[in-house]
Amino acid sequence: MVDTNRLATSPSSTVIGEILSEAPVKRRRPEPTAIVIFGATGDLTSRKLAPALYNTMVDGALSEPTVIIGISRGELSPAAFADKLRAGVTEFSRQKVEPAKWDKFAGMLDYVGGEFAEDATYIALKGRLEAAKHKGTKGNRVFYLSVPPALFPLILQKLHEHKLIEKAVQGNGVPSCRVIVEKPFGRDLKSARELNEMIGKFLDESQIYRIDHYLGKETVQNILVLRFGNSIFEPIWNRNHVDYVEITASESIGIEGRGAFYEATGVVRDVIQNHLLQVMSLVTMEVPASFSPDDIRDEKSQVLRSVRPLTLNEVANDCVRGQYRGYREEQGVAPESQTPTYAAMRFMIDSWRWQGVPFYLRAGKKLAERLTEVSIHFKSVPLVLFKEEAAGSVLQPAVLTLRIQPHEGISLRFVAKVPGENISVGNVVMNMTYADAFKRPISEAYERLLLDCMRGDATLFNRRDSVDRAWELIQPVLQVWEATPGVHIYEPGTAGPAAADEMMGRDHHSWRELHPG
Which sequence spans correspond to the domains of the chain? 28-211, 215-505
User: What's residue 15's pLDDT?
Assistant: 55
Fold match between domain 28-211 and domain 215-505: no
User: What's residue 386's pLDDT?
Assistant: 57
Mean pLDDT computed over 63-73: 95
Mean pLDDT computed over 317-345: 95
282: CB partners within 8 A, 6+ apart: 215, 220, 223, 224, 300
**Predicted confidence (pLDDT) at residue 496 exceeds the cutoff of 70:** yes
| Mean pLDDT of all residues belonging to the chain | 88
C-alpha closest to that of 40 among 144, 176, 175, 180 = 144
C-alpha closest to that of 175 among 211, 129, 144 = 129
Rg of the chain, C-alpha, whole Å: 24
Mean pLDDT computed over 373-390: 74
Estimate the share of the chain in helix, then strand, then coil, as percent rounded to the nearest 5: 40, 20, 40
C-alpha to C-alpha distances, 137 to 34, 57, 98, 124, nearest whole angstrom: 6, 16, 26, 18
The CATH number corresponding to 215-505 among 3.30.360.10, 3.40.190.10, 3.30.70.260, 3.20.20.105 equals 3.30.360.10
User: What's residue 435's pLDDT?
Assistant: 75
What are the tens digits of pLDDT across the range 143-196? 999 998 889 999 999 999 999 999 988 777 688 999 999 877 888 899 999 999
C-alpha to C-alpha distances, 134 to 37, 104, 128, 160, 374, nearest whole angstrom: 20, 19, 10, 22, 48
Query: How would you classify the pairing of strands 358-364 and 342-348?
Result: antiparallel
Q: What is the DSSP letter of 426?
A: E
Residue 318 phi/psi, 5° resolution?
-110, 10
Q: What is the DSSP letter of 11?
A: T
Helix, strand, or coil here: 248? strand
What are the tens digits of pLDDT across the range 386-422? 555 554 555 678 999 998 888 888 999 887 777 776 7
- What does the alpha-carbon distance between residue 304 and residue 310 come to, in Å, rounded to a whole number? 13
126-135, 367-376, 431-440: least confidently modelled range:
431-440
Q: What residues act catalytically?
A: 275
* CATH tag, 28-211: 3.40.50.720
- What does the alpha-carbon distance between residue 266 and residue 271 come to, in Å, rounded to a whole number? 9
Cβ proximity of 252 and 363 under 8 Å: no
C-alpha to C-alpha distances, 47 to 41, 217, 256, 385, 444, nearest whole angstrom: 11, 16, 14, 55, 11
